[in-house]
Amino acid sequence: MKKHSRRFNTLLKEIEKDKLYAPLDALCLMKNLSNVNFLETAEVHIVLGLDPKYADQQLRATVMLPKGTGKTIRVAVVTTDDKTQQASSAGADIIGGENLIQEIKKGRLDFDKLIATPDMMISIAKLGKILGPKGLMPSPKAGTVTNNLVKTIEEFKAGKVEYKIDRNGVLHIPFGQLNFTTEDLYINLITLQQSIDKNRPQGSKGKYWKSIYITSTMGPSIPLNINLLRESHL
Give the per-residue pLDDT at 6: 78
In the chain, where does DSSP find H-type helix?
6-12, 23-33, 84-89, 98-105, 121-124, 128-131, 149-158, 182-198, 226-231
Contacts of 98 (CB under 8 A, 6+ apart): 123
**Three-class secondary structure of residue 44 per DSSP:** strand
Contact 30, 24 (CB under 8 A): no
Q: CB–CB of 195/65 below 8 Å?
A: no
Query: Residue 195 gets which letter from DSSP?
Result: H
Q: What is the pLDDT of residue 18?
A: 86
Coil/strand/helix, residue 147: coil
pLDDT at 231: 78
Residue 152 identity (one-letter amino acid): T
Contact 46, 166 (CB under 8 A): no
CB atoms within 10 A of CB 8: 13
pLDDT of residue 103: 96
Q: Could you read off the pLDDT of 193-214 as tens digits, one per residue?
A: 999 999 999 999 899 999 999 9
∠105-72-119 over CA atoms, to 5°?
40
Output the pLDDT for position 16. 83
pLDDT tens-digit profile of 106-139?
999 999 999 999 999 999 999 999 999 998 999 9
- Label residue 107 left, alpha or beta by phi (over 0 means left) and psi (-120 to 50 means alpha): left
| Sequence ranges of the domains in the chain | 17-69+160-231, 75-158
Look up the CATH architecture of domain 17-69+160-231: 2-Layer Sandwich (3.30)
Q: Quick one: pLDDT at residue 232?
A: 65
* pLDDT at res. 14: 75
C-beta of residue 78 within 8 angstroms of C-beta of residue 103: no
Separation of first and last alpha carbons in the chain: 41
Render pLDDT for 135-180 as a digit per residue (tens, 0 to 9): 899 999 889 999 999 999 999 999 899 999 999 999 999 999 999 9
In this predicted model, what pLDDT tens digit does every residue of 44-97 receive, in sequence order? 999 999 999 999 999 999 999 999 999 899 999 999 999 999 999 999 999 999
pLDDT for position 123: 94
Q: State the CATH architecture for 75-158.
A: 3-Layer(aba) Sandwich (3.40)
What is the structure's pLDDT at 2?
A: 61
14 vs 187, residue with greater confidence: 187
Give the 3-state secondary structure of residue 156: helix
Question: Which letter does DSSP use for residue 21 in this model?
Answer: B
In angstroms, rounded to a whole number, what is the distance separating the alpha carbons of residues 179 and 185?
10
Q: What are phi and psi of 190, to 5 degrees?
A: -60, -40
